[in-house]
């Protein structure tokens, strides 16, 4: 493939051949030392210029095929997830437009769930704040419809885009995912730390769970934990993988609190701690 001019043909082949692979990145409950859920992250063919999510979704948007791509990504994610039989939540990204379409017959969401023997209570739909919401009332109605069926809703990229606090107050999501900008170097940036702390306070008052995205270092993890963030996602724990990484409570304990007492080390053997250090 040579350059952007080949993208329409490449995109058409990906959609026609359904060449999408879902990868799964764990979301860790650092208080209870367990994997709370996994986010599904879609990728194109490995050797394709549209392998990464950025180029893939940008091309689909440019060539007006975003709806096809998103529906295919959801189908692939649900099909793969049903084979793992995990006791965890599955987080799936959707644009506001696709959330509006979930009630449409052609979307076939109910049929997909039934086909793969999945419960709505297992699924969290993430809506990005980076995309402007045009049909606000319709989106709110669609979200309420999904929540009534048992699905959960997450507002993604909080703080990065359009009217985040308005969306939070009006849509009443079950989860808020803090944009990575506010997590990167949070351990050395007091402004970011105060911002995230304020989100924790607001989330507690609104009975909403916070997820810190993009945590890459132990110092960032510790800063997030210090201000009360309980759900953590990022390379510090694991990169996205085709088969969800299974992490034991002992391994997580070693990863979250490496400077444990001698007594704790006897409970969590050093070998497990060494394994935990290899999650990146």
| CATH at 32 | 3.20.20.450
Q: How confident is the model at residue 268 (pLDDT cuts 50, 70, 90)?
A: very low
Question: In the prediction, which pLDDT does 170 show?
Answer: 84
Res. 159: pLDDT tops 70: no
- Give the contacts of 51 (CB within 8 A, at least 6 positions apart): 43, 44, 45
Residue 223 to residues 113, 122, 204, 216: CA-CA distances in angstroms? 38, 29, 18, 12
Q: What pTM was computed for the model?
A: 0.88
- In a domain, residue 187? The reply is yes
Res. 84: pLDDT tops 90: yes
**Count of residues in the chain:** 280
Residue 181 CB: number of other CB atoms within 10 A?
15
- Bridge partner residues of 243 (DSSP): none
- In a domain, residue 73? The reply is yes
| Rg value, the chain, Cα | 19
Which domain range does residue 198 map to? 23-40+66-258
- 75 contacts 118 by C-beta, under 8 angstroms: no
The mean pLDDT of 79-103, rounded to a whole number, is 88
Q: How confident is the model at residue 93 (pLDDT cuts 50, 70, 90)?
A: very high
Residue in the block written with tokens 């060539």: 63
- In a domain, residue 61? The reply is no
Count of structural domains, the chain = 1
- In a domain, residue 59? The reply is no
- In a domain, residue 227? The reply is yes
The mean pLDDT of 98-112, rounded to a whole number, is 73
- 89 contacts 124 by C-beta, under 8 angstroms: yes
- In a domain, residue 270? The reply is no
- In a domain, residue 194? The reply is yes
Res. 9: pLDDT tops 90: yes
- In a domain, residue 273? The reply is no
DSSP string, 11-65: HHHHHHHT--EEEEEEEEETTTTEEEEEEEEEE--TTSTT-SHHHHHHHHHHTT-
- Give the contacts of 252 (CB within 8 A, at least 6 positions apart): 28, 30, 33, 34, 35, 276
């Amino acid at each position: 493939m040579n350059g952007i001019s080949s993208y329409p043909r490449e995109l058409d082949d990906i959609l026609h051949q359904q060449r999408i692979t879902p990868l799964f990145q764990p979301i860790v409950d650092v208080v209870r030392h367990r994997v709370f859920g996994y986010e599904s992250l879609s990728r194109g063919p490995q050797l394709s210029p549209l392998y990464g999510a950025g180029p893939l979704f940008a091309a689909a948007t440019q060539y007006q095929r975003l709806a096809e791509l998103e529906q295919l990504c959801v189908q692939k994610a649900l099909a793969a997830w049903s084979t793992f039989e995990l006791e965890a939540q599955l987080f799936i990204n959707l644009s506001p437009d696709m959330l509006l379409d979930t009630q449409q017959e052609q979307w076939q969401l109910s049929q997909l769930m039934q086909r793969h023997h999945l419960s709505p209570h297992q699924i969290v739909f993430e809506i990005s704040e980076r995309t402007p919401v045009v049909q606000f009332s319709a989106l709110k109605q669609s979200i309420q419809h999904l929540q009534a069926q048992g699905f959960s809703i997450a507002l993604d990229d909080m703080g990065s885009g359009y009217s985040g606090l308005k969306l939070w107050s009006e849509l009443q999501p079950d989860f808020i995912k803090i944009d990575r900008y506010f997590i990167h170097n949070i351990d050395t940036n007091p402004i970011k730390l105060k911002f995230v702390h304020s989100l924790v306070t607001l989330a507690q008052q609104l009975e909403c769970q916070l997820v810190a995205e993009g945590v890459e270092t132990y110092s960032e993890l510790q800063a997030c934990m210090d201000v009360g963030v309980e759900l953590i996602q990022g390379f510090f724990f694991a990169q996205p993988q085709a088969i969800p990484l299974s992490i034991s409570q002992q391994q997580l304990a070693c990863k979250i609190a490496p400077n444990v007492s001698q007594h704790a080390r006897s409970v969590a053997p050093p070998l497990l701690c060494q394994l935990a250090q290899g999650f990146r």
